[in-house]
Amino acid sequence: MSFWPNSQEFTHHRSEEFRQSFRFIQQQIRGLFDLPDHDWDVLLLPMNGSLAIESLIRTFGGRVRVETEGAFSERVKQVHHDPAANFRFGVLHETNDSRLCDISNCDFVDAVSALPYFDFPRHAKAVVTVSSKQFCAQAIWSVVMIRKDLWVQAEPLEGYLDLCRYRTFAELGETPCTPSISGLFSFAEQLQNFDVSAFRAKIDERYFRLSRIIDGVGGEMKGGPPGLTFRLPHEYQIDTESFWIPPGNQGWRQAFLWSGSDSEFEELLEKVAQVIRESPSL
Amino acid sequence: MSFWPNSQEFTHHRSEEFRQSFRFIQQQIRGLFDLPDHDWDVLLLPMNGSLAIESLIRTFGGRVRVETEGAFSERVKQVHHDPAANFRFGVLHETNDSRLCDISNCDFVDAVSALPYFDFPRHAKAVVTVSSKQFCAQAIWSVVMIRKDLWVQAEPLEGYLDLCRYRTFAELGETPCTPSISGLFSFAEQLQNFDVSAFRAKIDERYFRLSRIIDGVGGEMKGGPPGLTFRLPHEYQIDTESFWIPPGNQGWRQAFLWSGSDSEFEELLEKVAQVIRESPSL
């Protein structure tokens, strides 16, 4: 039977299956990042990472001191920066240039494109990531990991960006508004046997193999894994269909190495090798 | 190749395919609701309906006069109600009791669970609906249809609830933040040959057949289609796995008649008939 409000879902968001999946994800995230129940809350939010970060900031006064630089830092800065704010904010990994940032003095950490490849920033008061990037789940769920002793400082903007509301519903294993149900189940599935060491090793190996080819023809690279941001010398024309083009690209291309199957990665390597072989200048 | 930021997506949210799908949906919605380009903007927001409604309200000052009553009206009222606000707000269809509300004096209309079964509220200044309920698409996209002459009154809360930001990106056929890409394509597919008359007729026929059975055994019903909210006399024990249970249910059950295939609907009818046949009291 499937006469639920959301027609494409096989269950609804107040069902026991939903709640079990919700709680399973919370437990897996706790285990993965070593977040004991007495110190940390793990909230699952049915929204994308940008909205989840805004929720965090707006739940604690709406203003932060932005401590990192880059495209994503800049976006937060434009709306929420205040040099006198209580909380410091930073982006762990600025994906546009594959750059790991110093967030060692940050209270709130945007780890949307960073976890679990990088270590969990244990000093932080709250950390945000998403299900649909490195965790390879479908429709986006955000995860806000927040120290329990932070709640006393909440001054939320009322409404659907108020994390206190999600915290109340999380006690039931639910959300205050209609979420993507299949997206939640997909996230649970990805976390079922998630092996973080194997995940990191896979990315490092992919980075090593692709970067060696690029390096071998005098290409440039920015930053490091888990993405590979590169530029080939101008005589090699790499098409724009296979790679992500960062803003203001000037020939830069990106591959997010957490995505794609092993065979797709072999095809990618072959494609780059082919571009190099077939370059008119050779 | 699939080395995009979102690992489960076959393309990315700055691709030509994405933009085409985005624009196709806008055009189909314009056609379906007769929203000419010179009068109306059609914005697609990668967020659920509750957040989309909050976005609308917060883009135009954050306060509304809530004119309707019911669970969803109440939720908006708690956060945004101000008897002196410029704009009046109403919920077209309060799903919890299947009740069509009078929104004839409302500027902003929550039509999340109402369109396209009901007529588009043409007098409104802005109307919000979603892809994942009556339109039967996967992961939720919201649609905000807004009169162009309303923008001069925008006083947005800066950030990711600011509709002006989505309007700017919509000019490119894009969103300012990472959306569900497969959700967008699913919405486009549902709109491809959407026949609103056939859709309404299907719901009416389902309502007629199910309500006749319930009526036949002295059951009660609230409101009308597109959902069926009913309660059987207490001697008939209907299980809670096949129906949605509205809050404060007291035996009330709901079936959302836009969901489910024809064969699933036949099974549903058979199930209800069986419950009635097998009731101990008969």
At A103 the pLDDT is 98
Give the Cα separation of A265 and B142 in Å (integer): 35
Side chain identity, residue B198:
A
DSSP secondary structure string, B37-86?
A: TTTEEEEEESS-HHHHHHHHHHHBTS-BEE---SHHHHHHHHHHB-TT-S
Residues B245 and B137 grouped into a single domain: no
Helix (H) or strand (E) holding B96: none
Residue A2 included in any domain: no
Per the structure, the complete domain to which residue B202 belongs is given by 196-277
Q: Tell me which of B115, B131, B160, B238 to substitute to probe the interface with A (most A C-beta atoms closer than 10 Å).
A: B160
CA dihedral A109, A113, A118, A119 (to 10 degrees): 40
Q: What pLDDT band is residue A84 in, cutting at 50, 70 and 90?
A: very high
As for how many domains chain B has, the answer is 2
Residues B106 and B202 grouped into a single domain: no
Does position A234 have pLDDT exceeding 90, yes or no? no
At B247 the pLDDT is 80
Listed by number, the residues of chain A in 83-122 with a beta carbon closer than 8 Å to a beta carbon of chain B are 95, 113
At B280 the pLDDT is 67
Contacts of B6 in chain A (CB under 8 A): 132-133, 140, 259
User: For residues A44 and A141, is the Cβ–Cβ distance under 8 A?
Assistant: yes
DSSP 8-state code for residue B277: H
Residue A31 included in any domain: yes
Give the Cα separation of B216 and B236 in Å (integer): 13
CATH number at residue B264: 3.90.1150.10
Chain-chain contact of A8 with B241 (C-beta, under 8 angstroms): no
Residues B90 and B223 grouped into a single domain: no
CA dihedral B61, B67, B71, B72 (to 10 degrees): -40
Q: What pLDDT band is residue A250 in, cutting at 50, 70 and 90?
A: confident
Q: Tell me which of B6, B16, B133 to substitute to probe the interface with A (most A C-beta atoms closer than 10 Å).
A: B6
Domain stop point among A147, A167, A192: A192
Strands (E), chain A: 40-45, 64-66, 87-91, 93-94, 99-100, 108-110, 126-130, 142-147, 220-222, 227-231, 253-256
Tell me which residue has tokens 């314009």. B30
Residues B77 and B161 grouped into a single domain: yes
Residues B206 and B181 grouped into a single domain: no
pLDDT above 70 coverage of chain B, percent:
98
Contacts of A14 in chain B (CB under 8 A): 245
Q: Please measure the distance between the N-terminal and C-terminal CA atoms of chain A and give it in whole angstroms.
A: 63
For B266-277, how does the pLDDT look when each residue is reduced to its tens digit (9 = 90+)? Answer: 999 998 888 888
At A13 the pLDDT is 83
For B49-104, how does the pLDDT look when each residue is reduced to its tens digit (9 = 90+)? Answer: 999 999 999 999 999 999 999 999 999 999 999 999 999 999 999 999 999 999 99
Strands B126-130 and B99-100: unpaired
Side chain identity, residue B44:
L
* Cα atoms in the 13 Å half-sphere on the side-chain side of A67: 20
For B130-174, how does the pLDDT look when each residue is reduced to its tens digit (9 = 90+)? Answer: 999 999 999 899 999 999 999 999 999 999 999 999 999 999 999
Model-level ipTM above the cut of 0.90: yes
Residues 6+ apart with CB under 8 A from A37: A30
For A185-223, how does the pLDDT look when each residue is reduced to its tens digit (9 = 90+)? Answer: 999 999 999 999 999 999 999 999 999 999 999 999 999
Chain-chain contact of A140 with B80 (C-beta, under 8 angstroms): no
| Residue B218 in contact with partner chain A when CB distance is under 8 A | no
Chain-chain contact of A182 with B50 (C-beta, under 8 angstroms): no
Give the Cα separation of B5 and A256 in Å (integer): 6
Chain-chain contact of B260 with A46 (C-beta, under 8 angstroms): no
Specify the higher pLDDT residue, B217 or A282: B217
Chain-chain contact of A242 with B133 (C-beta, under 8 angstroms): no
At A15 the pLDDT is 87
Q: What pLDDT band is residue B240 in, cutting at 50, 70 and 90?
A: low
At B112 the pLDDT is 96
Min distance A197 CA to chain B CA atoms (Å): 19
Domain stop point among B192, B211, B226: B192
